[in-house]
Structure 1
Amino acid sequence: MGKLTLSLVVLALVGLTSLASGATDWWEDSSLYQIYPRSFKDSDGNGIGDINGITEGLDYLKEIGMTATWLSPIFKSPMADNGYDISNFTDIDPIFGTLEDFDVMLKKAKAIGIKIILDFVPNHSSNECEWFEKSINREDGYEDFYVWADGKDDPQNPGKKLPPSNWEGVFGGSMWKWNEKRQQFYLHQFLEEQPDFNFRNKQVREKMLDVLKFWLDRGVDGFRIDAVPHMFEKVNDDGSYPDEDPTNHYYTQDQYETVELLYEWREFLEAYRKKNGGETRVLLAEAYSPLTMLDKYIGNGTHQGAQIPFNFALWGLNLTTNARDVQGMVDGWMSFMWKKHQTANWVTGNHDMGRVVDRVGENKKDLIHFLLTGLPGVTVTYYGEEIGMSNVVTCENCSYVETRSFSRSPFQWNDGESAGFSSSNETWLPVAEDYKSVNVERLRSLPRSTLKMFVALQKLKTSSAFKAFKNKGGFSYGAISENVFQIIR
């Protein structure tokens, strides 16, 4: 396989500054940065990143040209799934700090012009959530707060119940868990410690709007919605649940009711802005769904949904990817979503995916930044990608759940103790072995380092030539050979 290169031709579009001014909303060509709070910066020396550490690191985000940062969950949680099992949706887990710490962080972010986007995890709660306990006990108003079912009679064992359907969870095994106290099964699309809410219950929807309002009132700029496709499941007319092909998930993902729920949340955010003023509050949707479904999640012409349904097409980048492969990855979004909605976003990594450097190779890491920045729309940078951080293998013969930790190692600030992430030499995950050479402090000092190139590209992204002019031209792309992918702005 030949060497993949990328040609970025920047056209000086003289006189187009006025076209860019006011032509786009703040998020449309923004640079977003995902922080995994456990791993960004530890302020108190316990080996775990925290909110005060994020506050300390905000100046760095400004330095590298970020518009906003979205934070993986920082809410109260037993941490069965590192915070994606929430026990209190309106409070901060003590390992990260307090609500007061959050307010201080938000105040600094606003002062320096960095927007804060929170992870919103509405599909499920922790099984230690007060609401789940009330639902188990069938307390008034909480009887159907979660998805409960009687199950099927077991012909081999009279008196024993089988799961209501053959549905398999994201992490394997049945989606159904028997609760002895309630004498019913509850649904959990993810871990059994993460029971699914019943969004056909009006009270659940109202509670989630209360959660959104709580954080909007504190001043956040939007929400990244976790696990969007999983919010609803198919129910037969008689109340039973249909079996499905485990490889298809036709009945347990991307139900149209989920689309309508996103429209409801977008309407709520728009009404909040109309009442309280300020800039647009955004919705980012995590949905590993086909383009035809992402299209619906954005809007249907009469209703609007998420401004940014994440585009994971570039996750296919690997060691053997050539320029024509890249064109195929880009074409899908540009020929459909850009053409229809005039919006685009590009993602190469997150907390569930191995780092891009390990997928494409060390020699191509800078090309990836050129690719993301050269394409129109939103770029999403997972913390550490701007310096070329790599995976840290933490186990052998790992399960899927365990491999997710490979890309969550502590951020590499310098070549000191624990890479400058913590004053402790014991961190919640190991620091990568290459931290002496791959760290912010060192790369700042090198004239053509990955970090320097990243920062230069972010500055270029804010120029009038790179603004999202919608249909005003000045942009083209394509593979001009097997080895060269060209972008013209």
Structure 2
Amino acid sequence: MQLKAFVLIICLLMSASSVLAVTKEHRNLIELSSRPFFYKLSQQYGYDINFSNCPTEVWKHYQSYGITDIYFLGVWELGEYGLEHDRTDPGDISSYEEWLPDYTEDDIIGSPFAVVSYYTLNPVLGTLDDLASIRSYLNSIGIRVWLDFVPNHSAVDSVDMDNDREYFVTLPDGWTLDPTYWLDCGVAYGRDKYGSIWTDTAQYNYWNPDLVNHRIEELKFIAQYADGFRCDMAMLILNDVIADIWGDTMSANGYSRPSSEFWDTAISAVKSVYPNIEFMAEQYWNEDYALHDLGFDYCYDKEGLHDVLANGDLDDIRSYIWGRDQDLYWGTHFIENHDEDPAVDVFGSVTRADAAGFVTFLLPGMKFHFEGQWEGLSEKLLVQLRRREEEPNSDEAMNFYYTRLLPILRDYEYLYSGDFTPVSVSGTDSWRLLAWRFDGPGESILVVVNYSDTYGDGNIIIDNAASDDSGNVQLDEVVMGDVYSRSVSDLESSGLWVGIDAWWAQVFVYDNTE
């Protein structure tokens, strides 16, 4: 196993080279599901809370733990069609019964991905002026605001469905209307290429130039209230994907494939007016490189890092991290979000979820957290519901995040902007350890994670430590707060010995020679 991993690592290090730009920004983001978030706050404070009157202590709590970005899921206006759909759809009801057995009809609030209009806030959350005010305040304390853009589809009862049916994929003349795929009016339901059909939505037609222009104007409008877009299922409107799903329909309706991609045109147009706005792609099917090349600043790393950590094979984890190398900087890295089951369930325990957190959030790129993750909650918060099932917080998870990990993410800038280098660990049990380094001017950070169920140890060569007058260097181990003094010459020859318990990590900060 050791030899296999070593050979693979060496090959990857020799061959890996990024052809795309590296983004080294400080992005430590938490996703808040807006309506459930404010509903819970309202229960806690005893009065209705939304964007207009949320106590500043709520936002200062996130600031104090180093959050630099907040993604507010689901702020836009929804319609009665989607709400009724979510109250009656058998599949949705089955999910409610699984995750919130005591749900009531009042708990069903509608999917945030069936948007009626991007020009109106959901009234439960306040007004656009309230959103603008809270963004201004958050910006003043160093927090950026991210909002949704759902490119693939609208709500069935959206403003666009009322105004221009040519914005949508429609049933060609002479075709038989199959109600599995088509609304009674002949507009297609939103769908993907693997059989998912969202019967509360209507499918946009991105091969219609008028629709492209219309959606760009919507993006420009939203950009007045946001510092970033989280773009839902962004790969669905790539021309290749559209051709796979809708090619025959498009041809029958007289549409041909455009010469350019929507995202290239749209991102350029929006950034020409709002140059500091950022775009994050929810993406699957290994379309991240294509989307990044079209202008996305960040792309979901679900099928890569998240899934190899969940599977747990150390060779696969090393191969992925070492192979991505500098491209990790533009990844959106998470162990949990609104689409995934809670990390405690996915990884099997709080302990292993915490270890996955060490790996995920101590790598380059956007660190993406989800509400409830820090408390180790195991009950899923469904997007159609305003609450999750009550459960006690996990003391283990809270100690891990609030005492160990979040302060490190807050206090060490080079975890974001430093130069990332995978490093080797030698020794009999060293295969259990994952290690890498960030180097900045004058300071380095060495991360070592034991992502296994048994104690592991090994030696790591450190070749850039700056010695003091006695020839030593101080290494601050910032997970547990220990301090070590080691000979620089020993570090360069035999290396730093580390011994780490199962599912745990050590993070060393030291002065370097750069």
- What TM-score bracket applies, with the shorter chain setting the length? 0.5 to 0.7
Q: In the TM superposition, what is the alpha-carbon distance from 1:355 to its structure 2 partner?
A: 1.1
Equivalences for 1:357-368 in 2 at 5 Å? 357-360=344-347, 361-368=349-356
Q: 1:203 to 1:314 in 2, by over 3 A?
A: same
Q: Is the 8 A contact 1:124 1:195 kept in 2?
A: yes
Q: Give 2:417's match in structure 1, choosing from 468, 472, 478.
A: 468
Alignment of 1:282-431 (within 5 A): 282-290=278-286, 293-299=287-293, 304-312=294-302, 313-316=304-307, 321-334=312-325, 337-338=327-328, 343-360=330-347, 361-392=349-380, 405=382, 428-431=386-389
2:251 aligned counterpart, secondary structure:
coil
Does the Cα contact within 8 Å between 1:388 and 1:450 map onto a contact in 2?
no
- For the structure 1 residues 94 and 109, does the alpha-carbon distance in structure 2 shift closer, same or farther, using more than 3 Å as the test? same
Q: For the Cα contact (< 8 Å) 2:223–2:274, is it kept in 1?
A: no
Q: Is the 8 A contact 1:117 1:223 kept in 2?
A: yes
Structure-1 separation of matches of 2:271 and 2:154: 26
What residue is the counterpart of 2:224 in the other structure? 217
Cα RMSD of the aligned pairs, angstroms, is 3.5
In structure 1, C-alpha distance between the alignment counterparts of 2:122 and 2:180, rounded to whole Å: 29
Distance 2:58 2:212 in 1: 35
Give the secondary structure class of the aligned counterpart of 1:66.
coil
Equivalent-residue separation in structure 1 for 2:136 and 2:350 (angstroms): 38
Counterpart amino acid of 1:150?
A: P
- Identity, in percent, stands at 17
Letter paired with 2:127: T
Q: Is the 8 A contact 1:478 1:487 kept in 2?
A: no
Cα distance in structure 1, aligned partners of 2:55 and 2:111: 17
CA 1:363–1:486: 2 relative to 1, 3 Å: same
Q: Deviations over 1:187-226 (max 9, x none)?
A: 42142221011122222222222222222234x2110111
User: CA separation in 1, counterparts of 2:48 and 2:111?
Assistant: 12
Residue 501 of structure 2 aligns with which residue? none
Counterparts of 2:416 and 2:309, CA distance in 1: 29
Of residues 94, 98, 101, the one that matches 2:127 is 98
Greater C-alpha radius of gyration? 2
**C-alpha contact 1:120 1:226 (8 A) present in aligned 2:** yes
d(CA) in 1 for partners of 2:312, 2:49: 35
Q: Which has the higher contact order (CA 8 A, sep 6+)?
A: 1
Rounded Cα–Cα distance in structure 2 between residues aligned with 1:272 and 1:296: 24
Deviations 1:456-488 (A, max 9, x none): 2213442x4x34345xx6553779755332333
Aligned to 1:61: 62
* Inter-CA distance 478–364: structure 2 relative to 1 (3 Å threshold): farther
Look up the match of 2:35.
Answer: 38
Gaps of 5+ in 2: 1-20, 87-109, 192-196, 438-445, 447-514
| Amino acid corresponding to residue 96 of structure 1 in structure 2 | L
Given that 1:37 and 1:54 are in contact with CA atoms closer than 8 Å, whether structure 2 keeps it comes out as: no
Which residue type is aligned with residue 240 of structure 1? Answer: A
TM-score w.r.t. the length of structure 2 is 0.63
CA distance in 2, matches of 1:227, 1:484: 34
Q: Aligned letter for 2:280? A: L
Matches within 5 A, 1:132-147: 132-134=161-163, 142-147=164-169
- In the other structure, the counterpart of 2:198 is 191
Question: 5 Å matches for 1:167-316?
Answer: 174-179=180-185, 184-189=186-191, 190-218=197-225, 220-231=226-237, 233-234=242-243, 235-236=247-248, 239-240=251-252, 260-273=261-274, 280-290=276-286, 293-299=287-293, 304-312=294-302, 313-316=304-307
2:171 — aligned with what? 149
Partners of 2:111 and 2:58 lie apart in 1 by 21
> Could you tell me which amino acid in structure 1 is paired with residue 220 of structure 2?
K
How far apart, in 2, do the equivalents of 1:460 and 1:377 lie? 16
Cα distance in 1, alignment partners of residues 342 and 389 from structure 2: 14
CA change 1:481–1:257 in 2 (3 A) is farther
Secondary structure of the structure 1 residue equivalent to 2:207:
coil
Query: Match for residue 116 of structure 2?
Result: 87
Q: Distance in 2 between matches of 1:487 and 1:259?
A: 39
Shift of 1:185: 4.4
Alignment of 1:473-488 (within 5 A): 474-476=421-423, 481=430, 483-488=432-437
C-alpha contact 1:39 1:49 (8 A) present in aligned 2: no
In the other structure, the counterpart of 2:142 is 113
- Which amino acid in 1 is paired with 2:277? R
User: SS of the residue aligned with 1:117?
Assistant: strand
Match of 1:3 in 2: none
Q: Deviation of residue 326 (structure 1)?
A: 2.5
SS in 1 for 2:264: helix
In structure 1, runs of 5+ residues without a counterpart are 1-22, 135-141, 154-160, 164-172, 242-254, 275-279, 393-403, 410-426
Report the equivalent of 1:413: none
Compared CA separation, residues 146 and 103, structure 1 to 2 (3 A): same
